[in-house]
Amino acid sequence: MARKSRVHLQLNLNNPKKSFQVGAYVRLSILNNNTDDENTIENQKNIILNYINNNNDFELVKFYEDNNKTGTNFNREGFESLLEDIKHKRINCIIVKDLSRFGRDYKECSNYIENILPFLNIRFIAINDNFDSANIKNNDILSMHLKNIVNELYSKDISKKVSSALQSKRKKGQYLCTIPTYGYLKDPKNKGKVIVDEKASEVVKKIFDWRLQNKSYNEILLELEKLNTILSRQEIKTLLKKAEI
């Protein structure tokens, strides 16, 4: 006997007056951020808004957003906020641009779509993947599984490529951090290198000199306050540790 899909929806979809309270979920990974491709947050929102505006059954309650968040797990503030509103019955429908925006973990994505959301009586729609849990067609479940598998494999492949690229840059001695350590600046002629910040370097030298004079951390902090430095407390602690002799 063919295996029956566990995806089902208990809401009364035959009632044309029924209004679905929509939680629109958008996500942008670290790798996709600051790009102009189709997965930008703004583009995702526009696609979802157009979809909602063209369907009288939907009412947008809120956009739930996770920026700079990986899809390989569901430990995301925006997603957790979405689940919280589901628990309080503020929404009964989730709409995403596509399955990859929902997540890239095959097992977890499939579990949410096939088990958790139906159990909570939540309709799930992935627009570009033509998936709607309220209107399951013959091959939709198989297609959903295949796409989730591909999404996870894609994420792993990209991760390996990025790791290899970073390793290559390290071997070449390139600086990989976005913001240089206090005392240095990004080289305007070469983004992979840093140069000494002459003004800040004088402060760093003073810190080392004060430690050589056996001044305590608190005394050094007072000296820094007199200089009106823009150092954060964490930066000061880091510098003091480096100055420990």
Task: Say which DSSP state 132 is in.
Answer: E
Last residue within a domain, chosen from 135, 154, 173? 154
* Same domain, residue pair 143 and 200: no
- Residue range 73-85, pLDDT digits in tens: 899 999 999 999 9
**Residue 177: inside a domain:** no
CA 243 to chain centre: 36
pLDDT tens column, 160-189 = 554 555 565 555 555 556 666 767 777 677
Q: 14-63 pLDDT, tens per residue?
A: 545 458 999 999 999 865 544 446 779 999 999 999 999 999 999 999 99
Domain count, the chain: 2
DSSP 76-97: -HHHHHHHHHHHTTS-SEEEES
Task: Please check whether residues 39 and 115 belong to one and the same domain.
Answer: yes
Residue 2 belongs to a domain: no
Residue 90 is classified by DSSP as S
Q: Of 154, 173, 203, which marks where a domain is finished?
A: 154
By residue range, what is the domain housing residue 89? 20-154
Question: Do 108 and 226 lie in a common domain?
Answer: no
Residue 174, in any domain of the structure: no
Model confidence over 196-217: pLDDT tens digits?
Answer: 777 777 887 888 888 888 888 7
In this structure, are strands 20-28 and 190-196 parallel, antiparallel, or unpaired?
unpaired
Same structural domain for residues 193 and 133? no
DSSP 40: S
Q: Does the residue 58 lie in any domain?
A: yes
Q: Are residues 31 and 105 in the same domain?
A: yes
- Do 132 and 68 share a structural domain? yes
CATH number of the domain to which 42 belongs: 3.40.50.1390
Rg value, the chain, Cα: 26
Using N-to-C axis directions, what is the helix angle for 198-212 and 233-242, rounded to 10°? Answer: 60
> Quick one: 89 and 207 in the same domain?
no
